[in-house]
Amino acid sequence: MRVLIIEDEEHIADFLRRGLSFKGYTVDVARTGEAGLDAARDKPPDIVVLDVMLPGMNGFEVCLRLRQGLDPTLPIIMLTAKDATEDKIEGLDAGADDYIAKPFSFDELLARMRAALRRRQPQGREVLRVDDLTLNTAAREAVRDGRSVDLTTREYDLLEFLVRHAGQVVSKEAIFERVWGYTYDIDSDAVKVYISYLRAKLTAGGEPDLIHTVRGIGYVLKESVPVT
């Protein structure tokens, strides 16, 4: 098990590094959010322990980027000095699995890490559902209301990304990074075009549109609201 600690406070980072190494984890430490994102790309962790208060990019932003850019199922536990409820909500909205206020006990952190790792579903063999849309990730098949939807590789990747983030607004940049796989030369027009292909295929049987445009930001896939 590889754990990535993103924490700027040296004594806490060292304490975690020693404790987790002793428990058998392979530990990487990054001191800034940017360094943490690089480390996660170089050596993909099984779980991340992420401080909220970091110099530069804060922990919430790092959490979003880890989730949207790298691995939507990566377990992330956030640490913060502040015990404010708003922080907790923001952390969970950003996609964190759990949240621990400093000071925390090492045993508590270990217990939360084990719980987060247990909750993680193995990727690649799941059935994902939103409304009447079902994705079989092993077979890379999409079914809408019993109708099989024929998708290209890129369309499928885009749809799986949206379904894994169902109910969350994802930016065109995040979609491009994840689906096209590179971060330079981001082409948000390509995203727009592929979204239109997907929409057409997903509504070809007269079903309601599940992909909603959030103007100026990106897209959210969510259940359709029945018209009454």
Q: Give the whole-angstrom CA distance, residue 59 versus residue 65.
A: 10
**Smallest separation (angstroms) from Ca ion to the CB of 40:** 18
**Site stretch for Ca ion (CB under 5 A), options 8-16, 35-43, 83-91, 120-128:** 8-16
| The token pair that represents 195 in the structure block | 């979204």
Residue 132 touches Ca ion, criterion: CB under 5 A:
no
Nearer to Ca ion, 36 or 75 (CB): 36
Nearer to Ca ion, 96 or 149 (CB): 96
Q: Give the whole-angstrom CA distance, residue 117 versus residue 97.
A: 10
Q: What is the dihedral of CA 103, 107, 109, 114, to 10 degrees?
A: -170
**Smallest separation (angstroms) from Ca ion to the CB of 169:** 27
Which residues 41-60 are close enough to bind Ca ion by CB under 5 A? 51, 53
Nearer to Ca ion, 50 or 142 (CB): 50
According to DSSP, the residues that pair with 29 across neighbouring strands are 5
Nearer to Ca ion, 36 or 218 (CB): 36
Nearer to Ca ion, 64 or 174 (CB): 64
Is residue 201 within 8 A of residue 149, CB to CB? The reply is yes
Determine the angle formed by the axes of helices 106-119 and 10-22, rounding to 10 degrees.
70
Interface residue with Ca ion, options 8, 46, 173, 207 (CB under 5 A): 8
Among 59, 64, 29, CA closest to 45 = 29
Select the residue whose beta carbon is closest to Ca ion and give its number: 53
Among 163, 183, 155, CA closest to 69 = 183
Q: Give the whole-angstrom CA distance, residue 137 versus residue 164.
A: 11
**Smallest separation (angstroms) from Ca ion to the CB of 207:** 47
Nearer to Ca ion, 11 or 215 (CB): 11
**Smallest separation (angstroms) from Ca ion to the CB of 82:** 11
Fill in the amino acid letter for 180.
W
Enumerate binding residues for Ca ion (CB under 5 A). 8, 51, 53
